[in-house]
Chain A
Amino acid sequence: MKTIITSSGDNADSKFDLRFGRAAWFCVYDKETHTTNFIENSFKNSNGGAGTKSSEMAAELGAEQIISGHFGPKAKDMLEKFEIQMIELDDEELKVRDVISRIENN
């Protein structure tokens, strides 16, 4: 199962990004293979529709859940349509690595 973790940088030591639509990077974590893949969010500076576009990107990547700090209204609408689970984690002190270990320990 693929999980997207919003990240402020391109590696696991980067800080967890609390924004979804305007997150800097997406960390795609695969629970089966224990691998990560970092993809830059090309929509982070969109004038509008960042949440929609990021949701589409998540759907194309085949993610089944997303862990972020907050999901905006447009993102929520889309992710519900795509049946992607949204998990809110309100802790900006976390690193992406910490979020991954939480998934693994669950």
Chain B
Amino acid sequence: MQIAIASGKGGTGKTTVSVNLYYFLSEKYNNRVQLIDCDVEEPNDMLFFPQAKKEAEKEVFIIVPEIDKERCIYCKKCVEWCEFNAISIVQRLKFAEVNYELCHSCGACFEACSFEALTPVQNSLGSISDYRTTFGAGIVEGRLKIGSAMQTTLIKSVKKLADSNQHLTLLDAPPGTSCPVVETVATANYVILVTEPTPFGLHDLKITVELLNKIHKPFGVIVNKAGLGNNTIYQFLEENNIMLLGKIPFSKVYAENYSRGELFENIPVDVEKAYHSILGNLATIIN
């Protein structure tokens, strides 16, 4: 079973909740829980596992065109076919180049060219690493190359490493509601939305709820930093019959631990209690 952890707003505690669920669920399900960091633009789950051992790393490539200027007649047909403005041809200057940051590897240009001027070559998008942790079944991390706009392609590759032999795979999604989030939650059986009780938290939660309803994903909400802000988020959940999986109280001590990367040491009693209550609520969802 796959559970995605998402949030509309950034900074609500998606990473905190993901690694904590990895910790508490590993305890409950005999370490048969895997965590995949799908936030490939800024993967931070591993920051909390300094002792983890990297078992493997592989680069992910896509096919992009390379222009052979001996064969190119500067007709610009490939430019016209390219939906992503990735090919630059200036006839006057005999200039022909591909911008690999813009290329989406759709392959249209290869079809467009009648002069065999385009050769398919491999271009690196980023990497996928596999880590062994002291608890749980391990963490997979996708890391996008700086400058690349191919998040969804990398997320697709990262998710191929989901281990169906495990009891659970947790997917830590990127923030927002755009394509990388849709790609992450697409295969999930259930989505946990992490929010905070502030006007910004509520605003972005509403957008995310709308998205999940549209793609028919069952979901529940965890309110992090409970005690801050106001109560409108709870009214919204009630009015829309959205399951409140739990509230994690705001704790300054806990936030300080987080900033030092020490999430699993000296967990405040009320925070630990909150996670156990969330685990209880999730028990009906996790089969």
In the complex, A47→B91 CA distance in Å? 24
A48-95 interface with B by 8 A CB criterion? 48-50, 52-53, 55-56, 59-60, 62, 74, 78, 81-82
B95 contact set on A, CB distance < 8 A:
59, 81-82
**CB within 8 Å of B: which of A3-62?**
43, 46-50, 52-53, 55-56, 59-60, 62
**Residues on B with beta carbons closer than 8 Å to the beta carbon of A78:** 88
Q: What's the Cα separation between A52 and B99 when bound, in Å?
A: 9
Which label, helix, strand, loop or mixed, suits the secondary structure of the A interface? Answer: helix
| Complex interface: chain B residues within 8 A of A82 (CB) | 90, 93, 95
Specify which of B85, B89, B91 is in contact with A46 (CB 8 Å cutoff). B85
Q: Which of B85, B92, B97, B99 is close to A60, meaning CB atoms less than 8 Å apart?
A: B92
- Distance of A54 from chain B, by nearest CB (Å): 10
What CA separation (Å) do A99 and B102 show in the bound complex?
Answer: 33
Assess whether B86 is interfacial by the CB under 8 Å rule. yes
Closest to A58 in B: B90
Asked if B84 is an interface residue, CB under 8 A from chain A, the answer is yes
| Contact count band on A | 10 to 19
Q: How many residues of B contact A (CB 8 A)?
A: 14
Q: How far is the CB of A85 from chain B (nearest CB, A)?
A: 15
Q: Which residue of A lies closest to B97 (CB)?
A: A81
A48 touching B90, Cβ below 8 Å = no
B282 within 8 A of A: no
B149 near A: Cβ within 8 Å?
yes
Given A48-B149, A49-B84, decide whether A59 and B92 contact each other with a Cβ distance below 8 A: yes
Tell me which residues across on chain B come within 8 A of A53, comparing CB atoms. Answer: 85, 88
Residues of B within 8 A of A60 (CB): 90-92
Q: How far is the CB of A77 from chain B (nearest CB, A)?
A: 9
B99 touches A74 (CB 8 A): yes
Chain A residue numbers with a CB within 8 Å of B88 are: 52-53, 55-56, 78
Contact between A48 and B92, CB atoms less than 8 A apart: no
In the assembled complex, which residues on chain B have CB atoms less than 8 Å from the CB atom of A46? 85
Asked if A52 and B92 make an inter-chain contact with CB atoms under 8 angstroms apart, the answer reads: no
A contact residues around B86 at 8 Å (CB): 49
The listed residue (B89, B93, B97, B102) touching A48 by CB distance below 8 A is: B102
Closest 7 CB pairs of A and B: A49-B85, A59-B90, A49-B102, A56-B90, A53-B85, A56-B88, A60-B92
A-B contact pairs, 11 of them (CB 8 A): A49-B84, A49-B86, A49-B99, A50-B85, A52-B85, A53-B85, A55-B88, A56-B89, A56-B90, A59-B95, A62-B92
Please report B residues at the A interface, Cβ cutoff 8 Å: 84-86, 88-93, 95, 97, 99, 102, 149
Q: 13 more A-B contacts (CB under 8 A) besides A49-B85, A53-B88?
A: A46-B85, A47-B84, A48-B84, A48-B149, A50-B85, A52-B102, A53-B85, A56-B90, A59-B92, A60-B90, A60-B92, A74-B99, A81-B97
